[in-house]
Amino acid sequence: MSRLVVVSNRVADPRRVAAGGLAVALGEALSSSGGLWFGWSGTVVERGAPDGQLHVQRAGNVTLATVDLGHDDHAAYYRGYANGVLWPVFHYRLDLANFDPGYIDGYRRVNRLFAHKLMPLLRPDDVIWVHDYHLIPLAAELRAMGCQQRIGFFLHTPLAPPLILAAIPGHEWLMRALFAYDLVGLQSQADMNHLARYLVTEAGAEQLGEGRFGAFNRQLRAAAFPIGIDVDGFIELGRGKEATETRANLREQYARRQLLVGVDRLDYSKGLPQRFRAFRTLLERYPENRHSATLIQVAAPSREDVDAYGDIRRELEGLCGAINGDFGDLDWMPIRYIHRTVARKRVPGLFAASRVALVTPLRDGMNLVAKEYIAAQDPADPGVLVLSRFAGAAEQLTEALLVNPYDTQATAEAIERALRMPLDERRLRHGRLLEEIRRHDVHWWRERFLSALSEGGPG
Ligand code: ADP
Ligand code: F6P
Confirm or reject: Cβ of 426 under 6 Å from ligand 2: no
Percent of the chain scored above 90 by pLDDT?
Answer: 88
The dotted CATH code for 231-439 is: 3.40.50.2000
Q: If you ran DSSP here, which 8-state letter would residue 91 be given?
A: T
Ligand nearest to the CA of 300: 1
What are 37's strand-pairing partners?
6, 64
Confirm or reject: Cβ of 298 under 6 Å from ligand 1: yes
Q: For residue 424, with 0-12 CB atoms within 10 Å meaning exposed, 13-18 middle and 19 or more buried, which class applies? A: exposed
More confident residue, 310 or 116: 116
Q: If you ran DSSP here, which 8-state letter would residue 441 be given?
A: -
> Which of the four pLDDT bands, split at 50, 70 and 90, describes residue 25?
confident
> What is residue 459's predicted lDDT score, i.e. its pLDDT?
41
Does residue 18 surpass a pLDDT of 80? no
Confirm or reject: Cβ of 240 under 6 Å from ligand 2: no
- For ligand 2, atom 11, name the residue with the nearest CA: 20
CA–CA dist 18, 300 (Å, integer)? 10
> What is residue 24's predicted lDDT score, i.e. its pLDDT?
72
* Ligand 2 centroid distance, CA of 303 (Å): 9
Does residue 320 surpass a pLDDT of 70? yes
pLDDT (average), residues 249-266: 96
* Ligand 1 centroid distance, CA of 360 (Å): 13
In this predicted model, what pLDDT tens digit does every residue of 338-395 receive, in sequence order?
Answer: 999 999 999 999 999 999 999 999 999 999 999 999 999 999 999 999 999 999 999 9
> What is residue 120's predicted lDDT score, i.e. its pLDDT?
97
Percent of the chain scored above 70 by pLDDT?
Answer: 98
Q: Among the residues of 92-203, which ranges form H helices?
A: 103-118, 138-144, 162-165, 171-176, 189-201
- For ligand 2, atom 15, name the residue with the nearest CA: 303
> What is residue 305's predicted lDDT score, i.e. its pLDDT?
87
> What is residue 147's predicted lDDT score, i.e. its pLDDT?
98
In this predicted model, what pLDDT tens digit does every residue of 45-66 receive, in sequence order?
Answer: 988 777 789 999 998 889 999 9
Q: Helix 231-239 and helix 241-253: axis angle, to 10°?
A: 70
pLDDT (average), residues 217-238: 95
In this predicted model, what pLDDT tens digit does every residue of 188-200 receive, in sequence order?
Answer: 999 999 999 999 9
Cα of 320 vs its chain's centroid, Å: 25
- Overall pTM > 0.85: yes
In this predicted model, what pLDDT tens digit does every residue of 387-421 receive, in sequence order?
Answer: 999 999 999 999 999 999 999 999 999 999 999 99
In this predicted model, what pLDDT tens digit does every residue of 236-257 receive, in sequence order?
Answer: 999 999 999 999 999 999 999 9
What is the average pLDDT score of the chain?
A: 94
CB 158 within 8 A of CB 90: yes
CB 75 within 8 A of CB 106: yes
Ligand 1 pocket, mutate which of 265, 272, 297, 312 (most atoms under 8 A from CB)? 265
> What is residue 144's predicted lDDT score, i.e. its pLDDT?
97
- Residues annotated as part of the active site: 156, 364
Domain limits, CATH 3.40.50.2000, in the chain: 4-228+442-454, 231-439
What's the CATH architecture for 4-228+442-454?
A: 3-Layer(aba) Sandwich (3.40)
Does residue 270 surpass a pLDDT of 80? yes
> Which of the four pLDDT bands, split at 50, 70 and 90, describes residue 428?
very high
- For ligand 2, atom 16, name the residue with the nearest CA: 302
Please enumerate in sequence order all residues whose Cβ is within 8 A of that of 179, keeping only pairs 6 or more positions apart, or say none. 215, 216, 218, 219, 220, 459
Q: Among the residues of 226-377, which ranges form H helices?
A: 231-239, 241-253, 272-285, 307-327, 347-352, 368-376
